[in-house]
Structure 1
Amino acid sequence: MQSDLAVSASGLIKRFGERRVVDGVDIAVPQGMIYGVLGPNGAGKTTTLRMLLGIIEPDGGTRRVLGNERPREVSDQVGYLPEERGLYPGMKTVQAIAFMGALRGLDWKTGRKRGAELMEAAGLGHAVDQKIRKLSKGMAQLVQLLGSIVHQPDLLVLDEPFSGLDPVNQERLEKLILAERDRGATVLFSTHVMAHAERLCDRLTIIAGGKVRFEGTVADARATLPFKAHYVPHFPDDGLPALLPADAARDGDGWRFTLPDEGIEALLVKLIDAGYGISGLSIERPSLHDVFVRIVGHKALEAADVEALGEAAA
């Protein structure tokens, strides 16, 4: 199994002062997958990624990247987009991409050629000769991402890649991530925005308080919560609560409750026989957002949402 993993770690620990920012994290990223590291702000996601890449050393635990226990020895096979963005503002875009490729061992001529091709494929062909300082924040961020994949890495690590992007550039980024997986690369990215993880991830782990709280597929995550039903009666419902499951609560013109273990059919028959009828009915599967809220709590999620709104406004 170890040979099938692009990244693995066991018992990773990192302390800053008296605080354990990462507290015994295990992770196993299969080759050729898109793998998400999810968690609220301050959960330890960035620190975990930096330890995996050898940017900082763990205080405890072990890690392997592309089969090597010394991650920096395989850095030319890795593409990395850090949380802190940064490009030389006086460079032209295609030069910036080629320069980042050169840092990973790619020759300048090939880097320029691939850079122009990548920009065209990403819908940025019109900006090939523009200087970085003239780009919008979102376009500059995409250029930096292209610089992290121009050398065609086996592993692509992206730290909060969607942060600060508008919806158009978020869609472009999602397409780039999918294209990298289809090329055969393994993609490991961190985020606190559940929508991107729900659409992209083959597997994911949720970290909160420096510890792994969940690991599995999106479907596995959803399966930890029951389905919900929203029922709208056709006739007045004064006595209706007595017929519904115990957790039923008013929701608009109807009632929301957990789907019974035996399914909805027997309950509907009972409601119809009692004369209430059915004006509307929907069955709602839990979302990754719902699972995230249950695991990390509302306060942590609200803090993440406030930051995301602030980034969007900026």
Structure 2
Amino acid sequence: MTAALCLENVTKRYGQTVAVDGVSFTAEPGRLFGLLGPNGAGKTSTIRMVTNITTPDEGTITLGGTPVGPASQARMGYLPEERGLYRKLKVGEQLVYLARLKGMTEADATASVRRWLDRFDGLDWAGKKTEELSKGMQQKVQFISTVVHDPTLVILDEPFSGLDPINADLLVEVIGELREGGRTVLFASHRMESVEALCDDLCLMARGRVVLAGPLREVKRRFGRDTVSVAFDGDGTWLDPLVDADAVRVLSRTGGLVSVRLAGAAPRDVLAAALAGGVEVDRFEVHEPPLVDIFRQAVAGAGIAPVESAA
């Protein structure tokens, strides 16, 4: 039995407010699935239903083909955005306790805690109280508490919040190991760049609805390659006719480097304008649009009212 997480037409209401509106997606084992959207998009409400903290008003949620419920929670590891550890407890004792709550024996829990502390170079933390650790160390202990019981589904809500670049890189490495080990990893974030860098598949949400979903490569290919960068030597006025005709929109312009979004012009038109302007073109590149721009286009195409930036 696979550990695929499947949501079908899931809806959640709080009074007259529809927090999640007919959401469907599947997160597969061995892949990193990004649940993405601005604050208020419905991500947290969706996660609470997946983890059985709340239940859907409509629709179904299954893990490995079985409806989620109290019995499925032992198969899940959940790192909430609002972190929480017992500050007065020693790290080792706390992690063993949390692992045993998920059904592990004391011997297995103790061995797993030791392995994970060693993975994060934290064996010497075991005898310290949580409050004695730095914020970064506490973040890593919180992550260990999420995976110490070897869950089949790992849910990470803003996992990089508060981490310095070195610890963030370490966490990226460990998340990759979970994916390679066949875990189903659900990564929720409002940070587009994090999802774009890490995820295999994604679901973009706005106002409680799915506006776009699928493998990241297919999503980006669907929206085409519409950003052009030109490095040149010479006068930059060659671009002005295209700008004046609203054929391109300037994204950045610094000396001999310009980046534009195509708005009617083709890439060849930009190159032709540069050559016709008599400048020497050192580099010409066509890029896929960044995920944040895809999100904005998808929201507009779905007829959803503007939402706050998810950048």
Q: Distance in 2 between matches of 1:123 and 1:110?
A: 20
Equivalence for 1:312: none
Q: Residues 38-73 of structure 1, C-alpha deviation per residue, up to 9 Å, x if partnerless? A: 011111101101112221011111111222114322
Confirm or deny that 1:228 pairs with 2:227.
Answer: yes
- Whichever residue aligns with residue 253 of structure 2, its letter is D
Unaligned 5+ segments in structure 1 are 306-314
Deviation of residue 23 (structure 1)?
0.8
Q: CA RMSD in A?
A: 2.8
Show the counterpart of 1:89.
Answer: 87
Matched residue, 2:289: 286
- TM-score by length of structure 2 reads 0.85
The C-alpha deviation readout for 1:190-229, integer Å capped at 9, x for no partner, is: 1111222122211110111000011112222322143311
Mapping of 1:62-77 within 5 angstroms?
62-77=60-75
Is this contact kept in 1: 2:152–2:183, CA < 8 A? yes
Q: Percent identity?
A: 32
Cα distance between partner residues in 2 of 1:61 and 1:9? 7
Match of 2:77 in 1: 79
Cα gap change, 1:289 to 1:247, in 2 (>3 Å) = same
1:38-117 aligned at under 5 Å gives the runs 38-117=36-115
What amino acid is aligned across from residue 159 of structure 2 in structure 1?
P
SS at match of 2:204: strand
2:86–2:94 CA contact under 8 A, matched in 1: yes
Measure, in 1, the Cα distance between the counterparts of 2:204 and 2:138: 29
Query: Paired residue for 1:300, among 275, 284, 308?
Result: 308
Q: Which amino acid aligns with 1:290?
A: D
SS where residue 194 of structure 2 aligns?
A: helix
What does 1:227-266 align with in structure 2 at a 5 Å threshold? Answer: 227-236=226-235, 238=237, 240-242=239-241, 246-249=247-250, 251-253=253-255, 255-258=258-261, 264=267
Q: CA deviation at 1:120?
A: 1.4
**Does structure 2 retain, via aligned residues, the 8 Å contact 1:122–1:176?**
no
- Measured after TM superposition, the shift of residue 251 of structure 1 is 2.3
What residue ranges of structure 2 are gaps of 5+ in the alignment?
301-305
In structure 2, C-alpha distance between the alignment counterparts of 1:236 and 1:87, rounded to whole Å: 59
Cα 1:294/1:127, change in 2 over 3 Å: farther
Shift in CA distance, 79/240, structure 1 to aligned 2, threshold 3 Å? closer
Q: Verify the 8 A CA contact 1:40 1:296 in the aligned structure 2.
A: no
Q: Which segment is superposed worse, 231-240 or 15-24?
A: 231-240
> What is the alpha-carbon distance in structure 2 between the residues aligned to residue 43 and residue 243 of structure 1?
37
Say whether the 8 Å CA contact 2:154–2:184 is kept in structure 1: yes
Distance 1:30 1:273 in 2: 51
2:247/2:264 contact within 8 Å kept: no
Shift of 1:155: 1.1
After TM superposition, the score normalised by the length of structure 1 is 0.84
Q: How many residues align?
A: 301
Quick one: distance in 2 between partners of 1:171 and 1:206?
24
TM-superposed CA distance for 1:300, in Å, is: 1.1
Task: Specify the code of the residue in structure 1 equivalent to 2:295.
Answer: F
Structure-2 separation of matches of 1:86 and 1:260: 47
